[in-house]
Structure 1
Amino acid sequence: MKRIMLVCSAGMSTSLLVTKMQAAASEQNIEVEIFAVAQDDVKNQKNIDIVLLGPQVRFLLNKMKEKMNPKGIHVAVIDSINYGTMNGKAVLENALKLSD
């Protein structure tokens, strides 16, 4: 099972997207754990496979890659359109492609 962590400024704006992604995963019988955290809480997380950054914290991309990639954790910024429209299915598909 993949663990996907969404990161935003306060962890709140991504909560709705987490719900949409979980619904998409359920519809497709994909076993994933998806959760959201504030950017300050990233350091406390363990056993993550994929980190998705909200567009508003895209400035963290290089820092996160430096920290996470050596551990085998994939990092990407969520597409702004998919984020804005809360397209959980598309965000989930893009996340899972990172770890293929």
Structure 2
Amino acid sequence: MKKIMLVCAAGMSTSLLVTKMEKAAAAMGDEVEIFALPISEGEKRVGDVDCILLGPQVRFQKNTIEKAMDAAGVSKPCDVIDMKDYGMMNGEAVYKKAKAMMGE
């Protein structure tokens, strides 16, 4: 089962997006684990996931996540969620982006 981690400032604002992404995945018949964490926790979990998406409000932290991956000796797809998709809570678009990042 694929795991997608969303990283945001406090892990709260992204929880609604996680729910919408889970609904989109279910509608596509995909089994996937999606969860959101604040940046401080996300750094510790980079080795546990298949894809990392950062909320637009923490785009400046992408380097922090990349350094954490280097330190853990892992390489995972990592990108910032599109601001429009985040603002509209477009779970389907964000999930499709994650799938594309994982080569699906």
TM-score, normalising length: structure 1? 0.92
Aligned-pair CA distance for 1:50 = 0.6
**1:19 aligned partner:** 19
3-state SS, counterpart of residue 12 of structure 2: coil
- Using the alignment, how far apart are the partners of 1:64 and 1:44 within structure 2? 9
Aligned-pair CA distance for 1:40 = 1.2
- Using the alignment, how far apart are the partners of 1:60 and 1:43 within structure 2? 10
1:3-82 correspondence to structure 2 within 5 Å: 3-45=3-45, 46-68=47-69, 70-82=73-85
CA RMSD, 1 decimal: 1.4
Aligned-pair CA distance for 1:80 = 0.2
Aligned-pair CA distance for 1:74 = 1.1
3-state SS, counterpart of residue 94 of structure 1: helix
3-state SS, counterpart of residue 71 of structure 1: coil
- Using the alignment, how far apart are the partners of 1:92 and 1:43 within structure 2? 21
Identity %: 49
3-state SS, counterpart of residue 37 of structure 1: strand
3-state SS, counterpart of residue 33 of structure 2: strand
Instruction: Check the 8 A contact 1:55/1:83 in 2, yes or no.
Output: yes
Number of matched pairs: 100
More deviation in 54-63 or 18-27?
54-63
TM-score, normalising length: structure 2? 0.89
- Using the alignment, how far apart are the partners of 2:50 and 2:7 within structure 1? 13
Instruction: Check the 8 A contact 2:77/2:101 in 1, yes or no.
Output: yes
Structure 2, unmatched stretches of 5+, are: none
Structure 1, unmatched stretches of 5+, are: none
